[in-house]
Amino acid sequence: MPGILFLFLVVRLAVGNMDLAVELFEEQDWNNCRRECRRVFDDDPQAEKAALLGSISLLRQGNDIAAAQATLERLAAGAADREARAMAAYELGRLQWARGEAEAAARNLQKAFLLTSDHALFLRAGCSLDLLRKDSPIIGTLDPAVFQSLETSRALWSRDLVRECGMRKEKAGSILSKPGQWVVAFYRRGIRPAIGARCSLLPSCSEYFNQASRKHGLLAFPLIADRLVREPSVVVMQEHPVHVHDKIRFADPVEDHTWWWRKGCR
C-alpha cells in the first residue's frame, strides 16, 4: 500500500517534535522513520502519534508485523485522539484484509469510516470497506446506516482511489516470463541440489535468468546465454567484487546488459 496514502492525515497530526518523523514517512524511509518515532516515544511514552507512525512504518517494512499489529490494536481500542484511533483502525483493517481475516477487517474499516472526520480517510475507509465486501461475501450485511453512508460517498471515489484501495495480489509475471521461470524451477529442483551452487557472479546465473524472465520475458534466453559464455571472463577481470557470506563474488546485474535499451541512454 502506498505510504503516501497517509500524508493527508499525518501532516495534520504532526506536532512539533514529530516533524522529522513525518518527513521521513513521506519519503518512505521506513527504517529511519521508525527510529525517529521510537526516539519521540522514549521522550514521551504518551505520544500516541509517534507510536502510530512507528507501527505503520514497521508494517511497511514488513518486519515484526506482530508487534506492529499489537500497537495498532491498542491504539484502535483506546487512543485518546479520535483521529489516531481511526487511523489505527484503518491500518489494522487493511492488514487483516491482506491476511484474509475478512470479518475483523470489516469491523475495523467500519470503525475507521464512522470515527474519522478527515475527508481522505473517510473516502479510503469507505472504499476499502466496499471492496472488501465484494471480495468476501461472507461478511454479511452492513449496518443500514453505514450502508447508506457508503452509497452516498460512492460518487466521490475516483478511479485512482479505487485502484489504490484494492488489495493488490502479487503479480506472477506475464505468460512470456513463464518458460524462463520453468527452466529455473527445474534447475533449482533437479540439478542444483546435485551440483551445488557454483556461480561466481552476483546475482547467480539462475537468479539472473529468473530476474531477466520476469522483466523481459523471452528475451531472457539470449541474456542468459550471453551471461553463461561471459562468466569466466567476468571472473578473470575481477571487476566489482562483492563479499557474500565470506566469499567474493562479482556483481553482474541484468541492468548492466539492458541499459542501452532505454532510448537516448548511453
Partner 1 sequence: MILFDDKTHLQFALIRVNSRFRILISVILIFLPLRGFGESEGARVALDLAREGDYAGAAVEFRRAAMESDQAPARGGWFWASAYEYHRAAKLSVSDRMLDRAEDADPALSDRALLLRGENAMKGGRWDESAFYFESAVEGAASDPQRAYAARKLAASRVRLKDVEGAEAALDRSSLRETDGRDALQAYREGRDKRPGLGGALGMLPGFGYFYAGEWATGFRSLILNSLFIFGMLHTAENEQWGAFAVITFFEFTWYSGSIYGGIDSTHRFNRRREDQCVDGILGRASFEPDSSVLPTVSLRFQF
Q: Which residues bind partner 1 (CB under 8 A)?
A: 19-20, 23-24, 27, 29, 31-32, 35-36, 219, 221-226, 228-230, 232-233, 236, 257, 260, 265-266
The end-to-end CA distance of the chain, in Å, is 34
Q: How far apart are CA 104 and CA 85, in angstroms?
A: 16
User: Which residue, 76 or 220, has its beta carbon nearer to partner 1?
Assistant: 220
Euclidean distance between CA atoms 201 and 241, whole angstroms: 9
Contacts 24+ apart (CB under 8 A), 155-159: 156/123, 157/123, 157/126, 157/127
Q: Which is nearer to partner 1, 36 or 91 (CB)?
A: 36
In whole angstroms, the minimum distance from the beta carbon of 191 to partner 1 comes to 14
| Strand-by-strand arrangement of the 241-244 sheet | 201-202, 247-251, 241-244
**CB-CB contact of 149 with 126 (8 Å):** yes
Report the distance separating Cα 100 and Cα 64, nearest Å. Answer: 19
Q: Is the CB of 103 or the CB of 239 nearer to partner 1?
A: 239
Q: CB-wise, 131 or 251, nearer to partner 1?
A: 251
Kindly state the cell numbers that stand for 259. 541499459
Report in angstroms how near the CB of residue 232 gets to partner 1 at its nearest: 7
Nearer to partner 1, 35 or 192 (CB): 35
Report how far residue 37's alpha carbon sits from residue 205's, in angstroms, rounded to the nearest whole number. Answer: 41
The nearest distance, CB 22 to partner 1, in angstroms, is: 11
Q: How far is the CB of 64 from partner 1 (least distance, A)?
A: 19
Q: Which is nearer to partner 1, 86 or 202 (CB)?
A: 202
Which one, 17 or 153, has the nearer CB to partner 1? 17
Least distance to partner 1 from the beta carbon of 217, Å? Answer: 13
Nearest distance, CB of residue 123 and partner 1, angstroms: 28
Length of the chain: 266
Task: From 256, 211, 210, 248, select the one nearest 230 (Cα to Cα).
Answer: 256
Least Å distance, CB 44 to partner 1, is: 16
Where on the phi/psi map is residue 204: left (φ > 0), alpha (ψ -120 to 50), or beta?
A: beta
